[in-house]
């Protein structure tokens, strides 16, 4: 016969202490943490890739298990109860300790083997880091580099990445923060577009052209658009709007319209022409990682490589002062960067005529 206390408790948990049962339910506690952080079941479910109903049932089961109500539902999301706040604080401490355990394990692991996770904005990841990463991989053949290219910032404290390169400055106090450089952005267009529609003479003259916008977390052309063209509808003026940097680049390179690109666009490919109408924007590039990362050799190796990859002395387009794309050829002293992108841009790729920028040497020059 079961005691009153055990009635309604699953058979596999009867006779266990409350502390044992709680330890077995850490996964549900993790789900509760995500719901509390996201502020709604729907947002948390999307992030966790679960259905909303499954997530609600898991939280309800956790509430029954703990004997307290953790959240209340509202039209705009959820609120944690007073009891829920106490459970949340304890759960956050448990989570931090579990991450500390993982980092301690990583410190004790073999020096240059295993996996290192890097989160980076999609544009920098696709056009700058990934093509050059072969250098790092050849020097560290036993390392698996997991690159997450996305415009959403990764949570380094929760081990979503070992290190992150982003354009928004993180606010968390427990993170190490290094400014890698500055990304300078200005208008560009394809030569084919300029031959068809002409070269704009000023910012107001852009109203007579077609515009391409990128709208994403950390980078949004819409902010600049609203400042420059207040009250102007996008329909009929904006040719394309995308959240992906690679699509944004190709829309411009294929002649869809004029759009904002980093000044190094010409250094890696001469398919686009800078539009010099005094319109410039810049974003600081931040490297962020947990303070314990310095004690993990493989992560430290990746951090050192990133510092070199954004060295403004070698790659002048990352320095704080603006350098016009036409001046980059005289400033740059390294190997032709377009060599990194020959496969990416395809057989049809040819540098523009009359360009002073670094280009692939001809067969005769090799």
C-beta of residue 33 within 8 angstroms of C-beta of residue 87: no
| pLDDT confidence tier of residue 252, bands split at 50, 70 and 90 | very high
Count CA atoms within 13 Å of residue 8 on its CB side. 6
Q: Please give the pLDDT value at position 66.
A: 83
| CA proximity to 319, closest of 274, 284, 352, 268 | 284
Q: Please give the pLDDT value at position 313.
A: 87
pLDDT of 277 above 90: yes
- Most trustworthy range by pLDDT among 80-94, 102-116, 224-238, 338-352: 224-238
Distance CA 292, CA 181 (A): 23
| pLDDT confidence tier of residue 159, bands split at 50, 70 and 90 | low
C-beta of residue 289 within 8 angstroms of C-beta of residue 162: yes
The residue written with tokens 């904006």 in the block is 238
| pLDDT confidence tier of residue 332, bands split at 50, 70 and 90 | low
Q: Please give the pLDDT value at position 343.
A: 42
| pLDDT confidence tier of residue 330, bands split at 50, 70 and 90 | low
Domain at 182-284+317-365: CATH architecture: 3-Layer(aba) Sandwich (3.40)
Q: What is the mean pLDDT of residues 279-302?
A: 86
Q: Please give the pLDDT value at position 5.
A: 44
pLDDT of 58 above 90: no
pLDDT of 110 above 60: no
pLDDT of 232 above 80: yes
pLDDT digits (tens, 9 = 90+) for 170-182: 777 778 889 999 9
Q: Same CATH fold, 182-284+317-365 and 4-108?
A: no
Q: Please give the pLDDT value at position 150.
A: 76
In the chain, DSSP assigns E strands to 71-74, 77-80, 114-120, 143-149, 163-166, 175-190, 211-216, 219-220, 238-242, 259-262, 272-274, 281-290
DSSP code of residue 326: G
Angle between helices 130-139 and 297-309 (to 10 degrees): 140
Q: What is the mean pLDDT of residues 46-60?
A: 86
pTM exceeds 0.85 for this model: no
Q: To the nearest whole number, what is the mean pLDDT of the chain?
A: 77
Q: What is the mean pLDDT of residues 107-113?
A: 58
Q: Please give the pLDDT value at position 7.
A: 45
Q: Please give the pLDDT value at position 359.
A: 38
Return the CATH number of the domain spanning residue range 114-178+288-307: 3.40.190.10
Q: What is the mean pLDDT of residues 211-223?
A: 81
In the chain, % of residues over pLDDT 70: 74
Largest separation between any pair of C-alpha atoms in the chain: 92
- Most trustworthy range by pLDDT among 15-19, 50-54, 188-192, 294-298: 188-192
Q: What is the CA 291 to chain-centroid distance, rounded?
A: 20
| CA proximity to 176, closest of 85, 303, 356 | 303
Query: CA separation (Å) from 224 to 184, 201, 227, 350?
Result: 14, 18, 5, 32
Q: What is the mean pLDDT of residues 122-142?
A: 85
| Domain boundaries defined on the chain | 4-108, 114-178+288-307, 182-284+317-365
Phi-psi region of 122 (alpha: psi -120 to 50; beta: other; left: phi over 0): alpha
Q: Which of 68-82, 223-237, 275-289, 331-345 has the lowest mean pLDDT?
A: 331-345
Domain at 4-108: CATH architecture: Orthogonal Bundle (1.10)
Q: Please give the pLDDT value at position 25.
A: 67
Angle between helices 82-108 and 26-38 (to 10 degrees): 110
pLDDT of 146 above 90: no
Q: Please give the pLDDT value at position 199.
A: 95
Q: Which of 211-215, 267-271, 289-293, 297-301 has the lowest mean pLDDT?
A: 267-271
Token reading at 96:
């931090």
How many Å from the N-terminal Cα to the C-terminal Cα in the chain? Answer: 88
pLDDT of 22 above 60: no
Instruction: Classify 68 as helix, strand or coil.
Output: coil
Q: Please give the pLDDT value at position 109.
A: 55
- What DSSP line would sit under 101-159, residue for residue? HHHHHHHHS-TT-EEEEEEE-HHHIIIIIHHHHHHHHHH-TTEEEEEEE-SSPP-GGGT
């Amino acid at each position: 016969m079961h005691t009153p206390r055990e009635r309604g408790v699953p058979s596999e948990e009867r006779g266990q202490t409350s502390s044992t049962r709680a330890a077995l339910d850490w996964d549900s506690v993790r789900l509760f943490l995500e719901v509390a952080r996201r502020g709604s079941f729907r947002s948390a479910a999307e992030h966790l890739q679960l259905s909303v109903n499954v997530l609600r049932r898991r939280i309800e089961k956790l509430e029954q298990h703990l004997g307290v109500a953790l959240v209340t539902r509202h039209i705009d999301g959820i609120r944690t109860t007073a009891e829920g706040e106490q459970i949340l604080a304890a759960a956050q401490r448990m989570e931090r300790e579990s991450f500390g355990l993982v980092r301690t394990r990583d410190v004790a692991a073999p020096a240059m083997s295993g996996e290192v996770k890097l989160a980076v904005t999609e544009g920098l990841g696709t056009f700058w880091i990934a093509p050059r990463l072969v250098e790092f991989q050849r020097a560290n053949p036993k390392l698996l580099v997991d690159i997450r290219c996305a415009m959403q910032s990764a949570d380094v404290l929760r081990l979503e990445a070992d290190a992150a390169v982003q354009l928004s400055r993180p606010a968390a106090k427990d993170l190490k923060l290094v400014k890698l450089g500055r990304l300078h952005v200005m208008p560009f267009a394809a030569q084919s577009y300029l031959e068809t529609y002409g070269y704009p003479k000023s910012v107001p003259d852009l109203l007579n052209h077609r515009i391409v916008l990128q709208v994403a977390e950390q980078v949004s052309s819409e902010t600049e658009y609203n400042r420059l063209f207040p009250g102007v509808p996008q329909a009929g003026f904006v040719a394309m709007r995308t959240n992906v940097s690679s699509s944004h680049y190709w829309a411009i390179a294929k002649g869809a319209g004029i759009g904002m690109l980093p000044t190094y666009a010409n250094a890696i490919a001469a398919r686009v022409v800078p539009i010099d109408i005094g319109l410039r924007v810049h974003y600081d590039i931040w490297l962020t990682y947990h303070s314990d990362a310095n004690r993990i050799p493989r992560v430290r190796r990746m951090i050192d490589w990133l510092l070199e990859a954004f060295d403004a002395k070698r790659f002048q387009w990352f320095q704080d002062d603006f350098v016009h794309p036409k001046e980059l050829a005289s400033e740059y002293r390294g190997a032709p960067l377009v060599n990194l992108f020959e496969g990416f841009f395809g057989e049809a790729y040819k540098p523009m005529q009359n360009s002073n920028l670094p280009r692939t040497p001809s067969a005769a020059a090799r």
